[in-house]
Structure 1
Amino acid sequence: MIRAALVLAVALALGSPALAAPSAVKDTSFVDQTGARLLQQRVVIAAPPAAVWRALTDQAAYRQWVAPNSFIDLRVGGSIEVALSAAGKPGDPSNIKQEILGYVPQRLMVFRNLSVPPVPGGAVYPKLAIVLELNPAGEGTEVVLSQVGYGAGADFDALYGFFKQHNPEFLLNLKAFAERS
């Protein structure tokens, strides 16, 4: 169950063990003008935006660092889907599925969770929007992972705490993969 929860933190969140120090991830979370919490964490990756984008959107690459049974349909209205079972297929009800709401190649992806994941507070996860930004940073890429729309209440608090802890793992796994690819 913990592995499944970590796979989710991108789609999101597992992969091979992180190879970089957690201090590489900076937390820049804040409360927006509506009073909603925005969980935001960032990391600089020593790889160009094209390599990071490939790691996030190419099905074969994603399978190498997130989960072997991942399925990507890169288009508005498409999805990123992660099977929690070794025999998983696209569309299985136990899969974690994110709908792609929009993207700008090598710069931005916005998505929303469509399933209730097995994590604390998972029932409210579909109420959030997840934004991945790729910003040029010297010869590398700064990746900013933002989860927008955290409200008040025990479920939102539990989900916020879960992702505050596990999003850095996702970012560090992305960093490790992109830098060695």
Structure 2
Amino acid sequence: MRFIALGVSCALLLTALADRAAALERSIDKEAVVAAPLAAVWQSWTTKAGIEGFFAPEAEVDARVGGAFHIHMDPLAEPGMKGADDMHFMALQPMQMISFDWNAPPSLPEARRQRTFVVVRFAPVDDNSTRVTLHHVGWGDGGEWDKTYAYFDRAWGRVLENLQKRHAAGPVDRTAWMESLRKAHAAAPAR
């Protein structure tokens, strides 16, 4: 009987330690319900047209393990400075989950040399709406890591809002954004 009690105590202790370790892992967690069927929301995350409809003005998307997930917030910038230039899908479970590596914006070069990981999950709420959850992990501590974490804590909420808007009113109009980029690039000193 003591062995059973000891086994239960060890199991409870291991569970508590695992819960504590998970709590210590810094993550960004966001969720949104999108007024669109699961297949439409899946396409938004796994195709070039889908990504360009809500996330960024330019993308290269090859939805397979190891395939490109390049998201160009600034398509006018030089290669390596466009945004998430060299990211890749790590896993795909059709109509359920994608994961990809991710990096910091070019303005945070120390953190940009590193990679974090994002998991996006999809679940139908009903025939015409889909729950999207986003979990972003792999954070370091201090310095640019903290700045990058704060940046994406804000940014992922906006990304999910744009996903909702895209399915409510059509693709996001990037005309003003592209014009502001053209002006910024024209005003930048020549290298």
TM-score (structure 1 length as normaliser): 0.70
Bigger fraction of residues in strand: 1
The aligned amino acid for 2:59 is S
Report the counterpart of residue 154 of structure 2 in structure 1: 165
Report the counterpart of residue 133 of structure 1 in structure 2: 121
Structure 2 gaps of 5+ residues are: 1-19, 171-191
In 1, Cα distance between the equivalents of 2:69 and 2:111?
19
Report the counterpart of residue 57 of structure 2 in structure 1: 68
Question: In structure 1, the residue corresponding to 2:24 is in which secondary structure?
Answer: coil
1:77 aligns with 2:66: yes
Q: Is the 8 A contact 2:29 2:133 kept in 1?
A: yes
Give the counterpart of 2:92 among 84, 90, 103: 103
In 1, Cα distance between the equivalents of 2:115 and 2:54?
27
* Deviation of 1:134 (Å): 0.6
Q: Is the 8 A contact 1:107 1:134 kept in 2?
A: yes
Give the counterpart of 1:33 among 22, 25, 30: 22
Structure 1 residues 111 and 105, CA gap change in structure 2 (3 angstroms): same
The aligned amino acid for 1:130 is V
Q: Across the two proteins, how many residue pairs are aligned to each other?
A: 148
Structure 1 residues 124 and 37, CA gap change in structure 2 (3 angstroms): farther
Higher relative contact order (CA 8 A, sep 6+): 1
1:153 aligns with 2:158: no
The aligned amino acid for 2:115 is K
Question: In structure 2, the residue corresponding to 1:126 is in which secondary structure?
Answer: coil
Q: Which has the larger radius of gyration?
A: 2
Report the counterpart of residue 8 of structure 2 in structure 1: none
Structure 1 residues 44 and 98, CA gap change in structure 2 (3 angstroms): same
In 2, Cα distance between the equivalents of 1:101 and 1:86?
27
Bigger fraction of residues in helix: 2
Question: In structure 2, the residue corresponding to 1:47 is in which secondary structure?
Answer: coil
Report the counterpart of residue 45 of structure 1 in structure 2: 34
Moved over 3 A (4+): 119-122, 124-127
TM-score (structure 2 length as normaliser): 0.67
1:93 aligns with 2:80: yes
Structure 1 gaps of 5+ residues are: 1-30
